[in-house]
Amino acid sequence: MTTPAPPLSQVPGPLRPAPGPLGRRVRLRTLTVAVLVGAVLIVGLIGQLLAPHSATEMVATPYAGPAPGHLLGTDHLGRDVLSRLLRGGPSVVLTTVTATALTVALGTSAGLTAALVAHHRPAAEGLVMRPLDALAALPPMLALLLVLTAVPSRTGIVLAACVAGVPLSARVVRAAALPVLRRPHVELSLARGERWTWVLRHEVLPLVATTVLADAGLRFVFSLYLVGAAGFLGVGVSGSDWGTLVHEALPGAALQPWALVAPLLLIAVLAVGVNLLSDDLTRPEEEE
């Protein structure tokens, strides 16, 4: 029994030259953004351990400004904004990461399957893509409301993100995988007798990994958007998630702007930072 040859996608290439000035700037920006995003994620995950007060404790008068006992001031009920921000972080981060991981996994699997079917039996591709196209026609906010009506919980938000995101992710992966399936090394692997599952995993997936990574950045922002929108609509994952805080802070934004700015800033750092990281990590080597 012969040992399978290593996939062509894993054959080492030439040594990469030292990065130039542009490459060093890109790496410095990547490191800076990674630190900011990492700090927000860590604070979000362990926020409950850092919060000085409970999410419902009234610590001062309503709309009080920043002070030593409440660094970001208080909300319309006199609750500490910083404590509510920290205690709402874990639910937002965990729900967003879970929704992103599940959406990317399902979308990548569906996209690779659709590409394989389109390459092998084009007439049968509709069996994979038409149901996904039907889901893609559903507006994301409508999908969120419909799913949350049936499953009003964190699970419902994750399901809504999958319903709205998997069809788009599958389309992106399918478009990237189809040209790879026509490459000679894929035909050579099949001629050696390799199974399609092996070919997809070792020959195709590594060559579309940058596309999957770029799509994962978009899915993260999309999932974060749905989590925030659910909180803003009053069906959030907790009573102090960042979307809920934005909704509660809007009427008194002129009196206590920090209650509105703080959650918006955290959402913006995560959304913009993850997209920048995705751009830098998928940047072609010649551009550096």
In whole angstroms, how large is the CA radius of gyration of the chain?
Answer: 23
Stretch 123-152: mean pLDDT: 86
Q: Are 20 and 271 in contact (CB under 8 A)?
A: no
pLDDT of residue 10: 55
Residue partners of 263: CB distance under 8 A and separation at least 6: 85, 88, 242, 243, 245, 246, 249
Q: Could you report the per-residue pLDDT of 66-122, keeping only the tens digit for each?
A: 988 888 999 999 999 999 999 988 889 999 999 999 999 999 999 998 888 888 788
Q: Indicate the pTM of the whole model.
A: 0.84
Distant-in-sequence, close-in-space partners of 71: CB < 8 Å, separation ≥ 6: 82
Query: Per-residue pLDDT for 28 more than 90?
Result: no
**Average pLDDT of the residues in 31-51:** 87
By CB neighbour count within 10 A (0-12 exposed, 13-18 middle, 19+ buried), where does 179 fall?
Answer: exposed
Mean pLDDT across 270-279 = 88
DSSP summary character for residue 238: S
pLDDT category at 1 given cuts 50, 70, 90 is: very low
Tokens describing residue 247:
């909704």
* pLDDT for residue 257: 93
The per-residue pLDDT for 172 is: 93
Cα–Cα distance measured from residue 140 to residue 15, given in angstroms and rounded to the nearest whole number:
45
Other CB atoms closer than 10 Å to residue 134's CB: what's the count?
Answer: 10
**Would you state the structure tokens that stand for residue 280, as one six-digit string?**
């830098």
Residue 70 is classified by DSSP as: B
Give the tokens for residue 225: 């958007």
For residues 198 and 284, give the distance between their C-alpha atoms in angstroms, rounded to a whole number. Answer: 26
Give percent above pLDDT 90 in the chain: 35
Question: Mean pLDDT for the chain?
Answer: 85
Give the pLDDT score at 26. Answer: 66
pLDDT at residue number 79: 93
Residue 167 in tokens: 């069809």
Give the start-to-end residue ranges of the domains of the chain. Answer: 72-287
Per-residue model confidence (pLDDT) at position 19: 55
Q: Kindly report the CATH number that applies to the domain delimited by 72-287.
A: 1.10.3720.10
The 10s digit of each residue's pLDDT in 6-21 is: 555 555 544 455 555 5
